[in-house]
Amino acid sequence: MAQFKTATLAGGCFWCTEAIFDRLKGVQSVMPGYANSKVANPSYQAVCTGRTGAAEAVQITYDPSVMPYETLLEIFWHLHDPTTLNRQGNDIGTQYRSGIYYQNDEEKQAALAVKAQVEQSGAYKKPIVTEIVPFANFYPAEDYHKDYYENNREQSYCQFVIDPKVQKLLKEYRNELKV
């Protein structure tokens, strides 16, 4: 029987991040929501003010024997821009920051090691600004945010922002995809 673990990652808009990680083998579920908020159960509207301290994030339940944490992180760093502070494309604000919210020292060390590998690879010309901080909390997003890409592919945001990320995933990480 699988021993599932949970990873909490913020890579800009949670619609994009959910669409990516939901396609990976070994991933049981991906929940969009708000990580490391200073306010209990923040709403989307409250998070958009920038005053909650929350990041739009996803909580990924995965089987590490199929999808190692380090591979999740590698995919995470290659499918968003970790070099822009509080911004992903036209999405601007602290809620769109890049972040890894680790549960223990093992996850922290893995995040730092994979970050160093990505930086040394030369994939980015600017430094990675992803915050790597302890997990504090996670609040699921409102229902209309769940499976947003799957349910709204005709929306322009899905076509122009999420589709290119999904296509990059399909091209570069074919071996890690669900059949």
Residuewise pLDDT in 10s, the chain (179 residues): 779 999 999 999 999 999 999 999 999 999 999 999 999 999 999 999 999 999 999 999 999 999 999 999 999 999 999 999 999 988 999 999 999 999 999 999 999 999 999 999 999 999 999 999 999 999 999 999 999 999 999 999 999 999 999 999 999 999 999 97
Told to judge if 13 belongs to the known catalytic residues of this protein, a careful annotator would answer yes
145: in domain:
yes
146: in domain:
yes
CA dist 132 and 137 (Å) reads 14
Q: Which CATH number does the domain housing residue 164 bear?
A: 3.30.1060.10
* DSSP annotation of 107: H
150: in domain:
yes
168: in domain:
yes
How many domains does the chain contain in total?
1
Q: How far, CA to CA in Å, does 8 sit from each of 49, 58, 121, 175?
A: 22, 6, 24, 23
Q: Which domain holds residue 10?
A: 5-174
24: in domain:
yes
91: in domain:
yes
